Amino acid sequence: MKQKINLYVDDLRDCPNEFQITRTVEQAKYYLENFNIGILSLDHDLGVDEEGDYFFFRTRTS
């Protein structure tokens, strides 16, 4: 069974209490794949990829 965490994805801001911080999309993907996420807080500007497109997350529900 996966551990449940709250995930805070932001490259600059301080992390609120009770959250695990990730500074990059790659780190966030690791947590999304390996933990159950209770609350997901996403930065409003997660950045752009090599082609100049904005990063987006896709979610799957079961």
Instruction: Read off the pLDDT of residues 6-48 as tens digits, 9 standing for 90 and up.
Output: 999 998 899 999 999 999 878 888 999 999 999 999 887 776 6
User: What total of structural domains would you count in the chain?
Assistant: 1
Domain assignment of residue 19, yes or no: yes
Counting other chains too, the contacts that 36-39 makes at CB distance below 8 Å and 24 or more residues apart are 36/2, 36/3, 36/4, 36/5, 37/4, 37/5, 37/6, 37/7, 38/4, 38/5, 38/6, 39/6, 39/7
Q: What pLDDT is attached to residue 24?
A: 84
- Please give the residue range of the domain that contains residue 22: 4-42
Domain assignment of residue 11, yes or no: yes
Domain assignment of residue 36, yes or no: yes
